[in-house]
């Protein structure tokens, strides 16, 4: 949708006035610093690379320790992933969050509950935060809002 900011009237030779509308963005100043402010929630598109990193974190930080005979190739997911960040003062201080379902093929109990939660700071590694048991705990409310997920108490 285009927002219209104003109009320019031009008198034509036949005394007809022609009105030309121009978009609000034409000649507009760049985004205000407030729109780029720290603390702003930003929805992001999940990539296969990030999905793989989330699965690795789940495997290494949780599943493998509790199931030493299982193999990494059986990790299924994460699927239905919500992914975003809370902007920091710098890119290195951004905090990324992911919420999604994950399990291990052949282990039906691993698919119970969810969603599972991951977090990473800046350019660091993903940390598997755990199975939320139906409520994405510890995820910032601003992200839950833009993802249209309920806040849990």
Structure confidence by residue, pLDDT tens digits, 102-146: 999 999 999 988 899 999 999 999 999 999 888 876 899 999 999
Place of tokens 């034409």: 26
| pTM reported for the whole predicted model | 0.73
- The predicted pLDDT at position 153 comes to 63
Q: Where are the domains of the chain?
A: 4-33, 41-146
Q: Which residues make Cβ contacts (< 8 Å) with residue 117, sequence separation at least 6?
A: 97, 98, 99, 128, 129, 130, 132, 136, 137, 138, 139
Strand runs (DSSP E) across 12-145, as ranges? 17-23, 41-43, 75-86, 95-104, 116-121, 127-131
36 versus 139: the higher-pLDDT residue is: 139
Query: Partners of 18 in the beta sheet?
Result: 10
Whether the predicted pLDDT of 18 surpasses 50: no
What is the overall mean pLDDT for the chain?
Answer: 80
Asked if 4 contacts 23 with a C-beta cutoff of 8 angstroms, the reply is yes
- The predicted pLDDT at position 150 comes to 85
Number of helical (H) and strand (E) elements in the chain, helices listed first = 3, 7
Q: Could you tell me the two tokens for 100? A: 């999604």
């Amino acid at each position: 949708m285009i927002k219209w900011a104003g109009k320019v009237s031009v008198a034509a030779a036949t005394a007809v006035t022609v009105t030309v509308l121009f978009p609000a963005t034409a000649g507009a100043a760049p985004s205000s610093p407030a729109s780029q402010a720290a603390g702003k929630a930003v929805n992001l598109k999940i990539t296969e690379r990030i999905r793989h990193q989330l699965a690795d974190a789940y495997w290494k930080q949780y599943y493998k320790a509790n199931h030493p005979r299982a193999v990494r190739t059986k990790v299924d997911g994460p699927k239905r992933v919500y992914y975003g960040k809370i902007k920091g003062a710098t890119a290195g201080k951004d905090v990324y969050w992911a919420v999604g379902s994950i399990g291990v093929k052949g282990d039906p109990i691993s698919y119970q509950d969810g969603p599972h939660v991951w977090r990473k700071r800046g350019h660091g590694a993903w940390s598997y935060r755990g199975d939320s048991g139906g409520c994405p705990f510890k995820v910032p409310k601003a992200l839950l809002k833009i993802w249209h997920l309920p806040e849990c108490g």
